[in-house]
Amino acid sequence: MKSFIKKFAAIASAASMMAAAMPVTAQVTAADTVFPFVIEGEDMEGADLWTSIYENQIPDYSGEGFAYLTNGALTFNVTVPEDGMYQLNVRGAQILSEEGRMQTVAINGVEYSKTVPYYKEWTDIDFGVVRMKAGENEISFINKYGYMAIDKVTVTKAVFPDVSATASAVPCDPDATAETKSLMSYLQSVYGKHIISGQQEIYGGGHSVETTIRYDASQDKCIDSDGKEYVIDRDSEAVDKDGNKFYWHCSDDVRTYTYNEQNRNYKYDYYDQEFDYCAELSGGKYPAVRGFDFMNYNPLYGWEDGTTQRVIEWVKERNGIATACWHINIPTDFASYELGDAVDWTKCTYKNGTDFVVANAYKEGTKENAYFDMCIEDLAEQFAILQENNVPLLWRPFHEAEGNGGADGKGAWFWWSQEGAEVYKNLWNYLYDKLTNEYGIHNLIWEQNLYAWSDESALWYVGDDKADIVGFDKYDTVYNRHDGLTSGPNYDCNSNVYWSLYNYTKGNKMIGIMENSTIPSVSNITTEQATWLYFCTWYDNGQDNFISGDNYNDASAVKEMYESELCITLDELPEDLYTANGTSQPSTKPSETPTDKPSVGADVLGDANCDGEVTMADAAAIYQALGNADKYALSEQGAANADCCNPGDGVTAADALAVQKLTAKLISKLPELTK
């Protein structure tokens, strides 16, 4: 796994050093707050004593009464020995609005907000995990919207679960290809320990570079100003408005060039601009994940921009990981659109507010359904090409589901969400069924974009059986940051969103940053323990230069991330990324060839699939058995072999992790004893 072993060892070493230093750096002094810390609402600074809210009685309060957040802030202080994360809970009530009311707490002036539902009785309200700095910290409930009754507040040290132990490595598609399963296993093996680097490429036609190549009709050659000749794509012959013959495409060993009718020369699209930028900053380290978009394969103005081929090249030639979104367009005026007609791209949209009835898209016999089926057919054609080339894809349709918030879809940014969460989920299920069951597409890892605005946000989740990974699009502004600054890049790691998504899926799914402006900083991720699976910075467009613009990402911060022990880059992906779970595994090096290979079915600790070897496939077999025992049950011998971490406690996720550690040479033998 190349430098993964180096990284794991470095983290372990750092953890040991921190542990050794703890008695000195984290020694509790008289000034330090003892946790759990509980304060009665009426004891907070700025609080008045309430025993009822006017004529409304809320009995069974603790202490002498409670505080009611009206005009001023309610404040108290705690002192902590080092930067860290703390859980904030309120025993409260909210009787002003049955629709819920936004409440805000500020930690040293940094604000965290959530919508508190209507509670007419005292209820434990989770205000999330917040960050505090070493020393004294001021916690204030601010009356931005307010009118919340607070009986008492409890602050505890945050306890983080082992996310890798619960997140599934089993694709939701039971017929997923071997390569897809292998990629899922790898992602799960690094989840919770590292963050994988990623970068979105620009849409087709972006970053155009003009050349001196021209078509010389007299010689029937494509040739540049230096006399270099290029190979003509004879199938791309065309005639310009003056009747002159030309060819749309020519090429050399480096790339394909496209004819520019205006200047009568050839140009090319520099899709690697952002990727080369990252590599130049970090001594040649490229992003491991490359983002694509299949928007241009559509029934309206669809054109071949080479996306499918670039996905294949990235995975097959560069050994990278591919992810893709789908800005699928619909006609702006759908009512007057005739099915099958070509439409200028300026008369299309993926935004919300159109006359396209989303609920009809999955209802047979409707015009919307006929159109949407055409979209899926175009998409399936491209995915079939990927599947034939053994290329799996992190597939992210209908992204940014909730938009600005609300289950009714009023906050939607895109047409697929404009009719609310239930219609959105039905649309997702329809797409899933069509691709997997009708078109036989099984090379997809299904990703869903979610938010965490309120308790309603969880209503958008499509469910464990239709999603493999969930994630968040991080476009932070000065109004959504937790560093106390009002300008410059926002390196927030959004740990409150991370743990909300964790709760939506009960920890069953890996969680990633599927789009971002500013990359979260190494220090913030480490301190806040928001162990995102990967990030994927959006591309530069000349106006918003998300990766190279210093208002979004300072070059030194990008360099620090790419060169850090936390971050996995392209060169650090394992060579068997797509074969570790299949039958065509790469041959072992001579020095690693076992001399006494056990027979198939033998008693070999860790060999869950009983093939005589302990590999990543055994870890996947254990996860599959834990995730769906009816379909993926281990044999009696396999179950005995699988119990390789603390033998005797049965088959658990810890056994799969032990197998992964062994294959990565993080431990030398099994069993692993942790108790």
Residues 6+ apart with CB under 8 A from 282: 558, 559, 562, 563, 569
pLDDT tens for 143-184 read: 999 999 999 999 999 989 999 999 999 999 999 999 999 999
Percent of the chain whose pLDDT exceeds 70: 90
* Two structure tokens written together for 395: 């597939």
pLDDT tens, position by position, 25-42: 334 343 799 999 999 999
Q: Which parts of 282-428 are beta strand (E)?
A: 289-293, 321-325, 330-331, 348-349, 393-396
pLDDT in tens, 634-653: 888 889 999 988 888 889 87
CA dihedral angle for residue 418, residue 421, residue 427, residue 429, rounded to 10 degrees: 170
∠ CA 348-351-355, nearest 5°, is 70
User: What's the pLDDT band for 447 if we cut at 50, 70, 90?
Assistant: very high
Over range 615-627, report the average pLDDT.
74
Please name the amino acid found at residue 176: A
Count CA atoms closer than 13 A to 553's CA, side-chain side: 30
Q: Work out the burial of residue 152: count CB atoms within 10 Å of its CB; fewer than 13 is exposed, 13-18 middle, 19 or more buried.
A: buried
Which has the minimum average pLDDT: 52-56, 366-370, 605-609?
Answer: 605-609
pLDDT value of position 71: 87
Share of the chain above pLDDT 90, in %: 71
Chain length of the chain? 675
Q: 581 in helix, strand or coil? A: coil
User: Given a cut of 60, is residue 432 above it in pLDDT?
Assistant: yes
- Which residue stretches of 78-233 are H helix? 163-166, 178-190
Q: Closest Cα partner for 251 from 230, 229, 228, 220?
A: 230
